[in-house]
Amino acid sequence: MKLLINGTWHSNYVDSGDLQAERNRIRNQYFRNWITADGSSGYKAAPGRYHLYVSYACPYAHRTILIRKLKQLENVISMSVLNPDWGYLQGWVFGDWAEATIDDVNGHDYLYQIYQQAKPDFTGKVTVPVLWDKQENTIVNYESAEIMRMLATEFNAFSDGSLDFYPPALQVEIDQLNTFIGDRINDGVYRAGFASTQEAYDTATDALFDALDNLEHRLTHQPYLIGDRLTEADLRLFTTLVRFDIAYYTALRCNVRRLSDYPNLWNYTRRIYQLPGVAETVKFDHIKRHYFDTYEGVINRRIIPKGPVVDFGLVPKVTAIAA
C-alpha cells in the first residue's frame, strides 16, 4: 500500500489493519473544508484562487473535471493533471504523458508532496482529486463528492448559474441514488476487482450487476435517472459507466455482462457522452493505461471470473450434424 505515515512516504506498506481506524478518523477530520459563495466558511469562492489536482483515469476525479467543464469554470479554477500510470514508487506523479501536466502551482514532482506541504505530519492515502487553495496554501478538500457539490453550487457568480444539478426539489431522491450508486457501482467495481478472496469477489459482483439491472429497468421510460433532468446522480454514475467496457469488464473482471449488453444503460451513457463538453473530459488512453498497467500485485489473478454469461443454444435447436 502506498501512503503517508506521519508525513513520511511509504511505497509498499503492509497495513495489517492497525492503521485503518486511524486513517478513517483522519479522513473525516482534515481537508474537509467548504468553499462558500459568501466566504462565511473562511474559503470564499473567487476566480483564480483555487486549483484542482486530478487524474483523467480516476472516476472520482472525473466527477470534478466534468462539473468544472459543465459549469464553465475552466477559467475560474485552474487544473493540473497527473500521469495515469500509478505504478511508480511515488504513486501519483506529474507530467511525462500526453495531456498530463507539471505542477505549475507548487512545483512538485509527486502528489504526496502536496499533502506534505499542507500537513507535514499527514497520515493516509494520497488520492485524487485534490482541491487546493492558492491563497492559504493548503488543501481545501479531497473528497470528490464534496468538491463536486461546491463547484456546482458555490461558484454561480462566475459560472453558468442556470445549470442546477442539485435542485432543492430533487435533493432527497438524488441523495438516495448517490448512496445506492456509490456503494454498489462506483465503489462496487473496485470491490470486485480488488477482492482478495473468491467469496468477496462473488458478493461484490452480484451486488454490482443487481444494481445495474435495477438501473436498466429504471431507465426504460426516461432519459435520465430522475426523469428528463440531468442531475448530480447521473454525473456520478456516468464516470463509472464510461469506463465499464473499456476497463472494468476486463481489468477488474466485472464481466457478467458488458454495459453495451444493457440497451437502456448503453444509450444513456452515450447520451451523456454526447452532451456538449463531456467527451472532452473522457480520456480513454489515460483510463486504459491506469487500469491495465498499474495494479499488478493488487489484483488476485487466481479468482475465477463470474462471466461472461454466454448462451451457446441455437434457435431453432440443431439436432443432427449436417455433413
Q: Binding of ligand GSH at residue 238 (CB under 6 A)?
A: no
By beta-carbon proximity to ligand GSH, the closer residue of 49 and 63 is 63
Q: Please check whether residue 192 is in contact with residue 253, taking contact to mean a CB–CB distance below 8 angstroms.
A: yes
Query: Which of 80, 127, 255, 269 touches ligand GSH by CB under 6 A?
Result: 127
Could you list the active site residues?
Answer: 58, 190
Least distance in angstroms from the C-beta of 22 to ligand GSH: 16
Encode the chain in three state secondary structure. CCEEECCEEECCCCCCCCCHHHHHHHHHHCCECCCECCCCCCCECCCCCEEEEECCCCHHHHHHHHHHHHCCCCCCCEEEEECCCCCCCCCCEECCCCCCCCCCCCCCCEHHHHHHHHCCCCCECCCCCEEEECCCCEEEECCHHHHHHHHHHCCHHHCCCCCCCCCHHHHHHHHHHHHHHHHHHHCHHHHHHCCCCHHHHHHHHHHHHHHHHHHHHHCCCCCECEECECCHHHHHHHHHHHHHHHHHHHHCCCCCCCHHHCHHHHHHHHHHHCCCCCHHHCCHHHHHHHHHHCCCCCCCCCCCCCCCCCCCCCCCCCCCCCC
Please give the size of the binding site for ligand GSH, defined by CB under 6 A. 11
By beta-carbon proximity to ligand GSH, the closer residue of 145 and 211 is 145
Least distance in angstroms from the C-beta of 51 to ligand GSH: 16
Binders of ligand GSH among residues 56 to 95 (CB under 6 A) are 58, 60
Least distance in angstroms from the C-beta of 84 to ligand GSH: 10
Q: Binding of ligand GSH at residue 237 (CB under 6 A)?
A: no
Only segment of 98-106, 137-145, 200-208, 209-217 that touches ligand GSH (CB under 6 A): 137-145
Only segment of 71-79, 100-108, 127-135, 266-274 that touches ligand GSH (CB under 6 A): 127-135
Only segment of 18-26, 96-104, 119-127, 229-237 that touches ligand GSH (CB under 6 A): 119-127
Least distance in angstroms from the C-beta of 199 to ligand GSH: 23
Q: Binding of ligand GSH at residue 159 (CB under 6 A)?
A: no
Least distance in angstroms from the C-beta of 309 to ligand GSH: 28
Query: Which of 23, 97, 143, 224 touches ligand GSH by CB under 6 A?
Result: 143
Can you give the binding site for ligand GSH, defined by CB under 6 A? 2, 58, 60, 125-129, 143-145
